[in-house]
């Protein structure tokens, strides 16, 4: 019984001691663990382990986080990377971090890709829809550029969506951008009176004037055959002067005007001399930059000598457009110079052609015929164009000739554009025609000095047996050397 009791009490002691030891060991482990945990440093990348960088754009790594249980720790860091931002590919961005003598390494994968969408710049805030054609009155002017592809304007696609006009472009890596421009509907254009025949007419005194009348058209150009037009005003063909006729339609309260000049006929000067220095030699008078305020006077003096000339024309003085018709009716050649005579036409082939074609449209409206000959502003040898587009003159001369046009420079310069006075203009021209076999003479019908020299010049030419020729596609072809 006692033995039994003792056995029990000994066992009890063993249990108690073991228990105490276990408690001590557990506590020690816990304390060491907590202490270890308290010392633990947390080192991590800010952001994803895999990041994208944009080609040709500075890459800035988001950095790292170093702390001990949220508290800042002192550390040393060394950053390094092998990124070439100009080349697509996979790169490494590394951090070597030293905290309390212990080194940590963090690595991020950076892939250089093209993630920027191209930019479309459009000049127009709004487009207009033409009432009659239902088409856009003027296509938008735009430019598309991409950080990687550069100028991708030619990749832009256009779509007319009715109330908006959509321009979209995709770069070579599939990044897309779109610009939507609102379209405003043009109001219905008013009806109008359209003259039959020319808006301005010149008739010689004593000749009969026959009015060709006028018709009423809708704003979209459809004739309204039942509408009557009354004419007010008269033309006295026996009295020199300027006459104005007014055409009216009362129903629509619209009108139009025609101007008729009754002028004196200048008798051609007959050349009776046959054995003179220039006998039979043909001179080619050319006049650039008009028509302008003096051109009608040029035409009258030319008529006096029955001299025909070639006019390289512009639209710089829009109120004289009608003179183009007058030039053609009097037997002169009307050829293209430039709509605007602005050097910007040399920015591109497209810019040049737009200007060229717009001028030829006006020539066709006024004379009934397009021209296939032209003179480059500044001549084909000009160097001004270099500042606008390298090699443009080389390209243009080839493109235009391949499309059936011929350009003309000159081999006699009156120097009127450079400010020569009328005596100098006369001397430059006369000296020039004596020394040149097929003289193509550069003059400007917007220069008063040339106007003042013209009568004397033509009298000299006539009296010395020169003939007057006009230029056509066959020549005589005078080309300067191209310098751009």
Tell the smallest beta-carbon distance from residue 348 to Zn ion (Å): 20
- Return the range that interacts with Zn ion (CB under 5 A); candidates 239-247, 288-296, 420-428, 467-475: 288-296
Could you tell me the CA-to-CA distances from 385 to 125, 235, 339 in Å, in that order?
A: 31, 49, 17
**144, 118 contact by CB (below 8 A):** yes
The Cα angle at residue 216 between residues 210 and 218, in degrees rounded to 5: 150
CA atoms within 13 A on the CB side of 295: 30
237-276 footprint of Zn ion as x/- string (CB under 5 A): ----------------------------------------
Tell the smallest beta-carbon distance from residue 435 to Zn ion (Å): 24
Buried b (16+ CB within 10 A) or exposed e, 144-163: bebbbbeebeeebeeeeeee
Tell the smallest beta-carbon distance from residue 232 to Zn ion (Å): 41
- Return the range that interacts with Zn ion (CB under 5 A); candidates 22-30, 115-123, 125-133, 280-288: 280-288
Determine the residue with CB nearest Zn ion: 288
Angle between the N-to-C axes of helices 322-329 and 295-304, in degrees from 0 to 180, rounded to the nearest 10: 10
| Closer to Zn ion by Cβ: residue 325 or 377 | 377
| Contacts with 214 (C-beta within 8 Å, 6 or more apart), sequence order | 193, 194, 195, 196, 229, 231, 247, 256
| Contacts with 232 (C-beta within 8 Å, 6 or more apart), sequence order | 245, 246, 247, 248
Q: State yes or no: residue 409 binds Zn ion (CB under 5 A).
A: no
- Return the range that interacts with Zn ion (CB under 5 A); candidates 15-23, 41-49, 286-294, 471-479: 286-294
Looking only at the bridges linking them, the beta strands covering 50-54 and 102-113 are parallel
- Return the range that interacts with Zn ion (CB under 5 A); candidates 80-88, 196-204, 284-292, 462-470: 284-292
- Return the range that interacts with Zn ion (CB under 5 A); candidates 132-140, 220-228, 282-290, 365-373: 282-290
Tell the smallest beta-carbon distance from residue 455 to Zn ion (Å): 23
Identify the residue among 171, 288, 355, 409 touching Zn ion (CB under 5 A): 288
Could you tell me the CA-to-CA distances from 247 to 94, 190, 257, 322, 325 in Å, in that order?
A: 86, 16, 6, 19, 21
- Return the range that interacts with Zn ion (CB under 5 A); candidates 13-21, 56-64, 238-246, 287-295: 287-295
- Return the range that interacts with Zn ion (CB under 5 A); candidates 34-42, 117-125, 281-289, 456-464: 281-289
Nearest CA-CA partner of 448 in 475, 470, 421, 474? 421
Give me 277's structure tokens: 């220095």
| Closer to Zn ion by Cβ: residue 382 or 428 | 382
**Total chain residues near Zn ion (CB under 5 A):** 3
**76, 101 contact by CB (below 8 A):** no
Tell the smallest beta-carbon distance from residue 436 to Zn ion (Å): 21
| Closer to Zn ion by Cβ: residue 271 or 316 | 316
Tell the smallest beta-carbon distance from residue 377 to Zn ion (Å): 5
Tell the smallest beta-carbon distance from residue 313 to Zn ion (Å): 10
Tell the smallest beta-carbon distance from residue 473 to Zn ion (Å): 21
Nearest CA-CA partner of 221 in 127, 133, 325, 318? 133
Q: How far apart are CA 307 and CA 327, in angstroms?
A: 12
Q: State yes or no: residue 445 binds Zn ion (CB under 5 A).
A: no
Tell the smallest beta-carbon distance from residue 375 to Zn ion (Å): 7
Residues of span 323-382 touching Zn ion by CB under 5 A = 377
Q: State yes or no: residue 289 binds Zn ion (CB under 5 A).
A: yes
| Closer to Zn ion by Cβ: residue 146 or 413 | 413
- Map residue 3 onto helix, strand or coil: helix
Q: How far apart are CA 383 and CA 378, in angstroms?
A: 8
The secondary structure element, H or E, covering residue 288 is strand 282-288
Nearest CA-CA partner of 55 in 146, 180, 162, 155? 146
| Closer to Zn ion by Cβ: residue 247 or 405 | 405
| Closer to Zn ion by Cβ: residue 288 or 303 | 288
| Closer to Zn ion by Cβ: residue 179 or 345 | 345
| Closer to Zn ion by Cβ: residue 118 or 377 | 377
Nearest CA-CA partner of 287 in 277, 266, 301, 269? 301
| Closer to Zn ion by Cβ: residue 200 or 338 | 338
CA 362 to chain centre: 20
- Return the range that interacts with Zn ion (CB under 5 A); candidates 209-217, 289-297, 355-363, 426-434: 289-297
Tell the smallest beta-carbon distance from residue 471 to Zn ion (Å): 15
Binding positions for Zn ion, rule: CB under 5 A: 288-289, 377
């Amino acid at each position: 019984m006692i033995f039994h009791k003792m056995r029990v009490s000994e066992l009890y002691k063993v249990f108690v001691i073991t228990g105490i030891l276990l408690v001590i060991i557990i506590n020690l482990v816990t304390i060491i663990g907590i202490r270890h945990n308290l010392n633990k440093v947390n080192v991590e990348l800010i952001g994803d382990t895999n990041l994208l960088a944009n080609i040709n754009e500075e890459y800035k790594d988001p950095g790292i986080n170093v702390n001990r249980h949220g508290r800042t720790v002192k550390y040393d860091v060394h950053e390094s990377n092998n990124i070439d931002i100009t080349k697509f590919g996979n790169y490494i961005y590394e951090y070597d971090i030293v905290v309390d003598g212990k080194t940590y390494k963090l690595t991020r994968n950076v892939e250089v890709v093209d993630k920027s969408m191209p930019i479309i710049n459009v000049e127009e805030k709004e487009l207009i829809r033409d009432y009659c054609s239902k088409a856009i009155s003027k296509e938008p002017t735009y430019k598309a550029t991409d950080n990687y592809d550069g100028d991708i304007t030619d990749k832009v696609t256009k779509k007319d969506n009715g109330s908006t006009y959509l321009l979209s472009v995709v770069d070579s890596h599939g990044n897309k951008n779109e610009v939507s421009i609102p379209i405003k509907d043009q109001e219905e254009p008013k009806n109008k009176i359209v003259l039959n025949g020319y808006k301005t007419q010149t008739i010689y005194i004593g000749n009969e004037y026959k009015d060709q009348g006028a018709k009423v058209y809708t704003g979209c150009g459809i004739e309204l055959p039942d509408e009557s037009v009354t004419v007010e005003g008269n033309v006295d063909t026996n009295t020199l002067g300027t006459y104005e006729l007014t055409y009216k339609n009362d129903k629509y309260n619209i009108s139009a005007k025609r101007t008729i000049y009754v002028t004196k006929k200048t008798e051609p000067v007959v050349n009776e001399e046959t054995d003179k220095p220039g006998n039979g030699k043909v001179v080619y008078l050319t006049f650039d930059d008009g028509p302008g305020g003096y051109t009608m006077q040029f035409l009258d003096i030319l008529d006096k000598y029955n001299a025909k000339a070639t006019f390289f024309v512009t639209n710089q003085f829009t109120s004289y457009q009608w003179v183009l018709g007058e030039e053609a009716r009097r037997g002169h050649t009307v050829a293209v110079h430039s709509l605007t005579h602005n050097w910007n036409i040399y920015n591109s082939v497209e810019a040049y052609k737009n200007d060229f074609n717009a001028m030829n449209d006006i020539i066709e409206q006024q004379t009934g015929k397009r021209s296939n000959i032209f003179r480059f502003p500044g001549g084909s040898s000009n160097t001004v164009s270099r500042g606008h587009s390298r090699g443009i003159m080389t390209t243009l001369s080839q493109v235009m000739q391949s499309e059936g046009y011929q350009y003309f420079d000159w081999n006699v310069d009156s120097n009127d554009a450079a400010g020569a006075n009328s005596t100098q203009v006369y001397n430059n021209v006369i000296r020039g025609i004596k020394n040149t076999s097929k003289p193509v003479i550069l003059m400007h019908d917007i220069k008063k000095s040339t106007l003042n020299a013209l009568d004397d010049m033509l009298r000299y030419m006539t009296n010395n047996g020169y003939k007057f020729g006009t230029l056509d596609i066959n020549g005589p072809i005078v080309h300067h050397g191209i310098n751009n």
